[in-house]
Structure 1
Amino acid sequence: MALATINGAALNTALVPQVTALVEDMRARRDADSVVLASWRATHAEAVAQERTATSWTDWSEDQLTQAAVGWLLTSVFVRFCEDNLLLGSDSVWITHPDPLLRGRAIDAENAFYRANPSYSYREWLEQSFAALRANPATVSLVDEHAALHIIEPSSDAVAALLEFWRRTDDAGALEWTFTNPELTTRFLGDLYQDLSIFAQKKYALLQTPDFVEEFILDRTLEPALKDRPLEGFKVIDPTCGSGHFLLGAFDRLAARWHQHAPAMEPRARVDQALSSIHGVDLNPFAVAIAKFRLIVAALRECGESTLVDAPRFTLNLVNGDSLLHGVEQGGATAFDYGDVSFDKDAVAAGFTYSTEDSRQLRNVLAPGQYDAVVGNPPYITVKDKALNTRYREIYHYCKGKYALTVPFMEKFFTLAKTGERAGWVGQITSNSFMKREFGVPLIEEYLGRLDLRLVADTSGAYIPGHGTPTVIIVGRNHAKTQETVRAVLGIQGEPGAPADPAKGKVWSSIEAHVDEPGYEDQWISVTDLPRENLRKHPWSLSGGGAVELASAIDLATDSPLSEHSDSIGITSFTLEDSVYLLDLRTPARLALAHVRPMVLGDQLRDWTADLDALAVFPYTDDFEPVDAEEVPKLFRFFWPYKTSISNSKMFGNQTKVASGLRWTEYGRLTVNKLTTPLSITFAFVATHNHFVLDRGGKVFKQSAPVIKLPVGASEDDHLRLLGVLNSSTACFWLKQNRLFASERG
């Protein structure tokens, strides 16, 4: 027998094949029913037309199937938890129970159900347990009309397999999986949230926030907010709530406050007061279902009760939906209405609504300027869906270039917080990529620079499970600056290894213990109060141990920028179709292609040399004039099979190559003036260290290997002198502080 509540990872591993089987079953049922399939395709077409998505039918339908499959599976998990802990009654069992007597009663009840309903089968029996959740006021929201299990039903055979999974016993006759737990622990559901579906994990960037991070952020947001405002009407939200870690932490604190504030109040009423303060939204329907269930169980536990029988309908302000598309009144004030106050901006921003979304509740929960505390761990990924990418740009003013979701969520978090004298507190752990990369310039210089930031903590050196991306914790208020300094935790050295207990890792322990001690420094961090001016300019440098001071000293000692010593810095070429133009070293000779050049790729520039292993078909003369391929038989023969694809390659502005005036065989871009003089200094656009390389000509450079061109007449010695500076340890340090190459910085 395995106790699921303490073996979440093992339970997840066992359940993954069940999800896969349900998805396959639901796909087969959908495809076999022409009416259902047509309805799904119409829904996808409407979502595309309303610019809610630009994903393909295959990816879109896979997501819907996954949500439905996980919806059925998770609801069965909720039933099993309730059964084993007798939360819905002393003999309310539908699937199974560790007690053989109750297990037998479940089988007897199922057989009686089939005798009374001869046309029904396993699916309808499992739905009886779902109906019990629906009939209970405390759990009705788990299976309401917006639950993902309503997207599509599995076959009875698939449900039979699921029932068989839960009813498996070991050699001793004990259930393989049981949920019996007097403490009613639900942490195991976080493991299911994160790892149950690889497809969902990648799409939604599913990642749990460790308790120690959640507690640190709540200490610096919820607690100061509670000090200067009444408990009545207090509101906190996590707009990216996931499986509910921040919400559960906030609930525990608010429930304790209500116990102190109104000890004579009936316990259920106190608990519901605390719950009414908690708000959460997540794009992933099954994340919201898990968060709801965890809050229901936490509320029951806080009431001191052991059953949901006669439990009230707890207030649950959790809703599925895209936080970035709803409640746009403030964030998109000029994006849609053009001054017409009667215009429903929120409806336009959200557009198409999925069956799992409650648009009315989303509008209420995500209305700006209403929260005393806003906390969370937003996704760090870039937006691959072109429709959503464009929509977010329209609503959020600081999205630039290939922005990460860090940017719109930063603005969303702050705009949800209250303004005025008692401005709301905002705290989040997020990717630090905006601090260094170009897309973060508007966010820092036009937005964060004018807000009341209170803490910027470099957590990139701390070991935070699951967080492979370097992170930063930001705390502030939705208010103009009130102080001339900002508390900063600067990183010096990263965690030397994965600690047995991440909460007690050396770096994190130092951050937690000394964040309130400006002037503190140890092997791992330094704590200081940075002048606000340091945080008003991009990029941010959060390196400790004197790194900030040294970087400033280097800047002050600079006589002139690199741009004053060069003619140009940047990209030389891109083909638009590398799979056609780039060949291995042997193929051109085999095909007798004369029009080729070595191509330098960024990942080949290491250890200050270029290790070239590719030749590029180069349809140009020695004077860089385009060649008419039809006059060069072997070149024409090579290109002919690819004519349609390379002719229709898209340029900037969405024009095809041919429509923009280029020959169909040309590169998308070839900057001739960077190739007419032989000497160049090239470097990898993305690298951990400075590997600048001198090239003496005869090559072409991919966009991942930009080049620095010195003025015409510059000698090789001039290039070598500059190369010595660029490859120096001083330059390496400066580049790491700024995370920018010369082409971006000048």
Structure 2
Amino acid sequence: MLNELTGLLRLLQDDLRMRVTEKPELLDGFQPRYEAMLRDKRTAAPLESWLEGEFTQIAVHWILACVFIRYCEDQALIEETYISGPNGKWRDGQEALTRYFRQFPAHSEREYLLHVFQAVSSLPALSELFHQRHNPLWSLGPSGDACRELLNTFQRTDENGQLVLRFDTLKTTRFLGDLYQDLSEYAKKQFALLQTPDFVESFILDHTLEPALASFGYQQTKLIDPTCGSGHFLIGGFQRLLREVRLHEPALNPIAQVQKALSGVFGVDINPFAVAIAHFRLIVEALRESGVRQLKAAPAFQINLARGDSLFHKELDGLGGDTLQMELLGEGKFDQYYESEDTPELRRILFQKYEAVVGNPPYITVKDANLNKAYRHKYRTCHMKYSMGVPFTERFFELARRGERGAPAGYMGVITTNSFMKREFGVKLIQEYLPKLQLNAIIDTSGAYIPGHGTPTVILFGQNQAPHSDQILVLQGIKGEPSTPDDPSQGLVWCDILHGYNQKQFAGEFISAGWNARSQFASHPWSLTGGGADEVQKTINDSAKMLLHDVSLSIGFGAILGEDDAFTARINSIKSSLIKPLVPGEVIRDWVLATCLSVIFPYDEQNDFKLVPLEHLPFPERFWKLRTYLFDRKDFSKKTYREIGRPYFEYHQIPTKRYRNPLSIAFAFVASHNHFVLDRGGKVFKQTAPVIKLPDSASLADHLALLGLLNSSSACFWMKQTCFNKGGGGAVWAERFEHDGSKLLKFPVPELKPLDLATRLDRLASELAQV
């Protein structure tokens, strides 16, 4: 199904672009919305990029609308056959189309599908799903030819006369989540689409919604997923709330029981088609649980879902959700932002508190400059180049009911990227925000096999109240899953996590669990490696009185070219002081650096590294040909080189002080192990190959002694505990670590260093490199 629909999506996207090119007036409704978003700093994207996202949303919604209708047809939720159906009913869909054309001979397949969407929207249970105000499909339609192909896709039969795309054998609606995640590569990157496996969702609900029900009771308990995606947490929460309603109110009629459970489940997502899928899935679940067989007999279930940005729409501290709040936030014009955003619902849902807050927020960084700035204004934890997991962690806590004056606090459970634990952008979250809250548990899930999650993750459980104990339950990883399990829910690491959490004190092969001092997790970075790793790390740290910070001048990049292709080439045959070897991080391995690229170095080493005139450079004509492109580069002020008068043939940034002393210790910024090498000068090091500079008084022996220490197994262990693990596909040996300078500056440097061994290894590596 996915392959069929992915190809169809590309066809519809191309068709929409063609339509607006031929008829520019079709964009009249889009321009005001885009201008309003620019004015109110909701986007900094150029119009073309913004429109591309709109076209993707529209195309996806046309496909999803057909999927929803086809599912209803095959599951006998509707009597009519509009598109197709099993057991020969595809002919009924073709006959319906023929009857429509007899009545409206001037219409195309586009008008027919719009007629179908209008017809199903009259059903109370589907009215909101096909609402003309919120569903993007109404804003622009594909051509008649493209809609014909859309219909043909769902009516196509194989050689046996059976439909290629069938929905009658599906027992659940989870397939829609797969469709949501993988249908559009653009949407997948834009919204960081990633489904939460059932076993992870169940575990998080066990330790958030269940204690909330025990604390607040089923009638008061409300659950929200602020990043609900296709609705996995919402459906799991609905089933648990329905269980409680049936247990306590067995005499209530089934429809009323279902609505009562639905009234306790809330969801928001920025992706309109994710919300559409979640809405449809909840309707199907509600029908099934209430015993209603057809949509025409179903009531208009109230579904608490809204399309919008959970991070952007929030209350400021000390302000309520009133008119003043809207004016101060610049949110008084919600209607102008997205046709698909549910303004009243966003306010209703996001401006209240919940007994349980759960979710799996996106792990990406914010690409849009204006949105990035808006989030920084609203969330105190946003720092440096933050992952969205950071402000979402703050948002999850905010949405939980505050525990004060003896009242119980709401529960929060999130699975998120663990990058904040080691990277610098996590400092404010760890050191300023989390210590003020009741963090109940920290669970290292980076070693567990969680399908679709290539990024290492962590699960946090907490409550929105001041800390009431001085300990946190911490589950630390010892080693990862040895192989991909047939059933991820029965993976060795995951099973150890379940045992460790339940037993509180646990030492397994893959996970260790225990109570740790809260103060231990009030400073950055966090280390969640079990099996005695913390004790070894402490021993290493305590063994030295000095840090690398104390013995070095600086750590950082050698140069940022700004446009690599303009400066680099395979020009090793030309001898010139203005041509130097270029060293990226991936060529630094095993005490050796081996680069085959050279770079034009437009600076005079004999004259305080001043810029060399263009005519004196090797190959000046290559820069002249690229001058317009190079002039358009922007510096840190966001102005072009031309605007600020910078020569177009200079590097974007070069710290010339790092070139005055030829001796440097360079290392691979990202690598599976610690790879450091001594360079004796004459090279240019990229950002991926930072350099450590020692004082000018440091001798060659000083450099070699430190080199031996940095390449040691003890240093390897220390760095793996301290630096961010970028993952590597599951195998421990393939895990890659980010060796950033701010972490390395804290590396302990003992008095005794392996100078003799380092000198020998450096010599042998140099000899080997000459072979």
TM range (shorter): over 0.9
User: TM-score when scaled to structure 2?
Assistant: 0.90
Matched, 1:300 2:287: yes
Matched, 1:386 2:369: yes
Contact 1:329–1:346, Cα closer than 8 Å, also in 2: no
Which of residues 126, 130, 141 is equivalent to 2:113?
126
Matched, 1:50 2:40: yes
The match for 1:269 is 256
Structure 1 position 169, deviation (Å): 2.1
Q: Distance in 2 between matches of 1:330 and 1:452?
A: 19
Q: Distance in 1 between matches of 2:268 and 2:450?
A: 23
Contact 2:212–2:221, Cα closer than 8 Å, also in 1: no
The match for 1:576 is 562
Matched, 1:687 2:671: yes
Q: Is the deviation greater in 700-709 or in 221-230? A: 700-709
Superposed, which structure 2 residues align to 1:634-649 within 5 Å? 634=618, 636-649=620-633
Structure 1 position 297, deviation (Å): 0.5
What letter is aligned with 1:288? Answer: V
What letter is aligned with 2:537? Answer: A
Deviations 1:336-382, CA, capped at 9 Å, x for gaps: 99x976834260696951111112211221115x1111101001011
Q: Is the deviation greater in 245-254 or in 74-83? A: 74-83
Contact 1:526–1:544, Cα closer than 8 Å, also in 2: yes
The match for 1:3 is none
Which of residues 713, 722, 727 is equivalent to 1:738?
722
Which of residues 480, 492, 498 is equivalent to 2:466?
480
The match for 1:416 is 399
Deviations 1:651-678, CA, capped at 9 Å, x for gaps: 3333555776865533333323322222
Matched, 1:318 2:305: yes
Q: Distance in 2 between matches of 1:33 and 1:683?
A: 56
Deviations 1:484-533, CA, capped at 9 Å, x for gaps: 11111110111111111111111111112331223311211111111101
Superposed, which structure 2 residues align to 1:144-543 within 5 Å? 144=131, 145-181=133-169, 184-330=171-317, 343-345=327-329, 347=331, 352-367=336-351, 370-420=353-403, 421-543=407-529
What letter is aligned with 1:698? Answer: G
The match for 1:5 is none
What letter is aligned with 2:546? Answer: S
Contact 2:478–2:512, Cα closer than 8 Å, also in 1: yes
Percent of paired sites with the same residue: 45
Deviations 1:303-336, CA, capped at 9 Å, x for gaps: 12222222111111111111111123349x69x9
Contact 2:228–2:234, Cα closer than 8 Å, also in 1: yes
Structure 1 position 707, deviation (Å): 1.6
Which of residues 591, 600, 610 is equivalent to 1:626?
610
Q: Distance in 2 between matches of 1:742 and 1:313?
A: 55
Structure 1 position 692, deviation (Å): 1.1
What letter is aligned with 2:741? Answer: S
Q: Distance in 1 between matches of 2:586 and 2:75?
A: 56
Structure 1 position 619, deviation (Å): 1.6
Q: Distance in 2 between matches of 1:418 and 1:346?
A: 25
3-state secondary structure, aligned to 1:690: coil
Q: Distance in 2 between matches of 1:294 and 1:449?
A: 38
Deviations 1:407-441, CA, capped at 9 Å, x for gaps: 11111111111102221111111100000001111
Q: Distance in 2 between matches of 1:58 and 1:160?
A: 27
Contact 1:510–1:525, Cα closer than 8 Å, also in 2: yes
Matched, 1:707 2:691: yes
Q: Distance in 2 between matches of 1:79 and 1:625?
A: 69
3-state secondary structure, aligned to 1:51: coil
Q: Distance in 2 between matches of 1:686 and 1:105?
A: 59
3-state secondary structure, aligned to 1:403: coil
Which of residues 672, 675, 682 is equivalent to 1:698?
682
The match for 1:651 is 635
Relative distance call for 1:626 and 1:506 in structure 2 (3 A) is same
The match for 1:548 is 534
Structure 1 position 636, deviation (Å): 4.3
The match for 2:701 is 717
Relative distance call for 1:108 and 1:601 in structure 2 (3 A) is closer
Deviations 1:601-629, CA, capped at 9 Å, x for gaps: 22221222111222221122232431441
Relative distance call for 1:118 and 1:600 in structure 2 (3 A) is closer
Q: Distance in 2 between matches of 1:517 and 1:32?
A: 66
Structure 1 position 180, deviation (Å): 1.6
Matched residue count: 725
Deviations 1:424-462, CA, capped at 9 Å, x for gaps: 111111100000001111111011122101111100100
Superposed, which structure 2 residues align to 1:36-75 within 5 Å? 36-75=26-65
Relative distance call for 1:599 and 1:195 in structure 2 (3 A) is same
Deviations 1:43-72, CA, capped at 9 Å, x for gaps: 434333332222233322221111111111
What letter is aligned with 2:139? Answer: I
Q: Is the deviation greater in 225-234 or in 243-252? A: 225-234
3-state secondary structure, aligned to 1:153: coil
3-state secondary structure, aligned to 2:595: coil
Matched, 1:18 2:2: no
Superposed CA RMSD in Å reads 2.4
Contact 2:580–2:682, Cα closer than 8 Å, also in 1: yes
Q: Distance in 2 between matches of 1:25 and 1:341?
A: 42
Deviations 1:100-154, CA, capped at 9 Å, x for gaps: 3x54444444333332333333233323332232111111111012012112112
Contact 1:133–1:142, Cα closer than 8 Å, also in 2: no
Contact 1:657–1:668, Cα closer than 8 Å, also in 2: no
What letter is aligned with 2:200? Answer: V
Which of residues 597, 601, 606 is equivalent to 1:614?
597
The match for 2:87 is 99
Structure 1 position 189, deviation (Å): 0.7
